[in-house]
Amino acid sequence: MKSELRNYLEIFTKELHDNMLSYWMKYGVEKEGKSFYGAVDLKNEPVLSANKTSVLNARILWTFAAAAKKYPGKGYEEIAHKAYRVVYEDFADKEHGGFYMELNADNEVANDIKHTYAQAFVIYSLSKYYESNPATEVMDRVQDFFYFLDKKTKDPEHIGYLESFTRDWSIYKENRMADNNEPKSMNTHLHLLEAYAAVYKIWKDDLVKQRLTELLDIFINNIIREDGHLGIFFTGEFAETDSSKAICSFGHDIEASWLLWEAAEILGDESIKTKIKPLLLKMADAVLRVGVDKDGGLFLESTRYGSHIRTNKHWWLQAENLVGLMNAFELTGDPLYWDTVKLAWGFIDKHVIDHEGGEWFTKVSRLGKPYLIEPEDDPSPFYRNDWKIDPWKCPYHNGRAMIELSNRISGLLEK
């Protein structure tokens, strides 16, 4: 077993350095300018007209800060410093606070809506940046922005957080991160959870602890369904909406299974860990039962209460599938999870990685054929198949997966 683990440690480490981070350093950084391209096409040429998003740039910051911490001296620090500057100098709204959603190619504001989802990624990335660069200025910004975000986004009447706001932080009901403008979403709360866990990891503040505990309770009591899948959209009172109940998002299910455990471990509350462990294993098993194809690839989602499966396999789902199954293997020792990690990696290596052009394809068919144009009958929710980098296609999911797998396998080898 240890020999096999060492082999996969080498594989995942090589993928991180030689295919992911090197790609972003070569093609993602503006040749003329001080920031990062908003998009790069399949020929690795920048799409100079593409907008830039705070989500993409925060995720670049998180990825390279994490890499810089784990692998100092490889040039990752410089990219992290650049991304930090971009986030704070280009995207920060210095008048009303928070961070703009989009800039155009000339770094002018193109979308000033303040999505809680996007704000969460900023504080998540700042927390990781502090781990690799523990400067007082960075900690001050983490603390100030946490208090600001808590004041602006937390629902004053009900549990949970509101979704989106205008530039001056008035409620913006027409543009939430939800299909039908539902008041609350699982996705926003999942990324607030990971963000506040990252904040609490570096700053043991009582209010951060309280908010992280509340978010874990929301998942335990309101978001995780009885069958182990996650509810998607919710009312203001945090009841799942009828239109949401027919949907299962397998990528979010498996991603949440390990993020919940990470948050519970960082929080350190044994009673919550006792509650969450069987739930996250139920989540992993639910995904294995109906979401993982026989070749190890992870389907996008099911609709109509499971009677319809969207069989396309998007890049980020495959990355999260690896980490979620690895987490379940660590917690149980059940070889089924490790065998599925290997199977899933085999699918990724054969079909999802672009071995000629670099990085990963955005989406492949059930049989592993890459989509190189956007199909009219099955459009991607945000990202484009004909771009290798775009406002949503980032190094965070697959880069983080390689870092997580390397850390987790190293831990097993040390036992």
| Residues 84-117 pLDDT 10s | 999 999 999 999 999 999 999 999 999 999 999 9
Lowest mean pLDDT, pick from 51-60, 166-175, 322-331: 166-175
Average the pLDDT over 284-304 and give the result: 96
The structure tokens 């295919």 sit at 19
- The residue to which tokens 């280009």 are assigned: 90
Give the pLDDT confidence score for residue 177 in this predicted structure: 67
Residue 305 has pLDDT above 90, yes or no: no
Q: Decide if pLDDT at 272 tops 80.
A: yes
Query: How confident is the model over 338-351, as pLDDT tens digits?
Result: 999 999 999 999 99
Q: pLDDT tens-digit profile of 249-269?
A: 999 999 999 999 999 999 999
With bands split at pLDDT 50, 70 and 90, how would you rate the model's confidence at 18? very high
The one-character DSSP state at 67 is H
pLDDT band at 357 (very low <50, low <70, confident <90, very high): very high
The Cα–Cα gap between 209 and 196 comes to 8
- pTM, two decimals, is 0.97
Distance of CA 243 to the CA centre of its chain: 24
pLDDT category, 373, cuts 50, 70, 90?
confident
Alpha-carbon distance values, 361 to 168, 261, 297 (Å): 38, 29, 14
Q: How far apart are CA 11 and CA 406, in angstroms?
A: 9
Mean pLDDT for 393-409 is 97
Alpha carbons 253 and 298: distance in angstroms, whole number: 11
The set of residues, in sequence order, having a beta carbon less than 8 Å from that of 280 and lying 6+ positions away, is: 256, 257, 258, 260, 261, 327, 328, 331
Residue 363 neighbours by CB under 8 Å, 6+ apart: 312, 313, 314, 315, 370, 371, 380, 385
